[in-house]
Structure 1
Amino acid sequence: MRRRAARRASLAGLVLVSAGCAITTPHVAVPEVGFAYSAGQGSQTFAAPPGVVGPAVVESLGDLGMKDVRPLRDGTVLRYEAVTSDDRSASVTIRSRGGAATAVARVGWFGDEPLSRAILQRVAVRLGERAPEPIPEEAPSKPSANPFFSRSAVPDSVMLRDQADAAYTDRVVP
């Protein structure tokens, strides 16, 4: 009888100590603050909550000459969409991360690192996490190349020349 009680006690202790148990409190790590760029989008974590970061994003997009800024909400995720001066789409998505907020900026289909960095730097200035800087007269921009339809690719007239010059293109050869 004592063995069974000891086994149950040790099993209960093991369940309580395990990380997946609902009784224990989860540890939420706040990501490091800093700019990161990957897969066409820049991201940065701010110490302020999303409710404070949202208005700073709107003001930052306006500072950089973006127009038609409109907010969207999907549950706890805030998203601001805008149009750049050269008519590309830009979006900033804000997610809550344990008291902090992570903002992800994407410009155009394939990304624009200098403009994404400028947007997130302006947000940091607006939040007071970065020293004040003058608003640039022209937003820094270097659109990424289109990986699917490159301007430097071989044109179809050259690539398909052999098929166009073939003598029997309309007949099936047995």
Structure 2
Amino acid sequence: MRRIALAAAVLSGIQTTGCMTVGPIAGPVMSATAFTYTAGRATQDFHYPAATLQSAITGAMDDLRVHSVQLTHDAGMLVYNGSTADNRRVSVTIRPNQAVSRISIRIGWFGDEPLSRALMDRIGIRLGELPPSAIPVDPPSEPASNPYFSRDAVPDSVMLRDQADAIYRDTPVP
């Protein structure tokens, strides 16, 4: 019982005194953490070095018809920029951190969850984490709507028509 309590204290970060005879027991090593999607950005951790992930990312981007892919280095991160078939910007960032590398994906201005998930899945398939599956003919895509301007909004030409008519007159009036 003491071993369990001591291991739990060590894992939770509680400082203990005395001699610890048994260290924390690690469970099975997972190679990837769960997919998360927040505020238009998909994130997932992979237990691979950045060099291994690079070829998987370029292959996954090619599978989903992301073209014009360019690699840049930014403050220790590797950033792949490309374009989708409908010319939205795709940014895949690798943040290496010891044995774990975090991959984040941003598609377009406001995100695209189905395409981000498909790209993460293709990376997992290329790494051998997921079972092989067919490459989709048409990549899944559902661009997020603009939270600031609705496509159904009244256009400015109609909304501001009365104001424009009041400012510009054909006859000079004092």
Pairwise TM-score range, normalised by the shorter structure: 0.7 to 0.9
Give, as a single letter, the amino acid of the residue that structure 2 aligns with 1:41: R
2:132 paired residue number: 132
**TM-score where L is the length of structure 1:** 0.73
Structure 1 distance, partners of 2:127, 2:150, is 39
Could you say which residue in structure 2 is the equivalent of 1:150? Answer: 150
Task: Give 1 or 2 for the bigger CA radius of gyration.
Answer: 1
Write the distance in 1 (CA, Å) between the matches of 2:52 and 2:168.
Answer: 69
Counterparts of 1:168 and 1:127, CA distance in 2: 64
In structure 2, give the amino acid aligned to 1:120.
M
Q: Does 1:115 align with 2:140?
A: no
Structure 2 Cα separation of the partners of residues 161 and 90 of structure 1: 38
CA distance in structure 2 between the aligned counterparts of 1:39 and 1:76, rounded to whole angstroms: 24
Supply the distance in 2 between the matched residues of 1:62 and 1:167 (Cα, whole angstroms).
54
TM-score after normalising by structure 2? 0.73
Q: Deviations over 1:15-54 (max 9, x none)?
A: xx8xxxxxxxxxxxx9x70111111111111111111111
Partner of 1:83: 83
Q: Give 1:71's aligned residue.
A: 71
Report how far residue 164 of structure 1 moved.
4.4
Distance in 2 (alpha carbons) for counterparts of 1:164 and 1:66: 44
Q: Distance in 1 between matches of 2:48 and 2:110?
A: 29
Q: % of aligned pairs identical?
A: 46
Query: 1:111 Cα shift?
Result: 0.8
- How many residues in Structure 1 have an aligned counterpart in Structure 2? 143
Residue 66 (structure 1) shift? 1.1
Q: Which runs of 5+ in 2 are unaligned?
A: 1-14, 16-29, 170-174
In structure 1, how many angstroms separate the alpha carbons of the residues matched to 2:79 and 2:154? 39
Deviation at 1:161, TM superposition (A): 4.4
Residue 42 of structure 1 aligns with which residue?
A: 42
Give me the whole-angstrom Cα distance separating, in 2, the residues matched to 1:165 and 1:87.
38
Q: Offset at 1:160?
A: 2.7
Residue type at the aligned position of 1:48: Y
Q: How far has the Cα of 1:84 moved from its partner?
A: 0.8
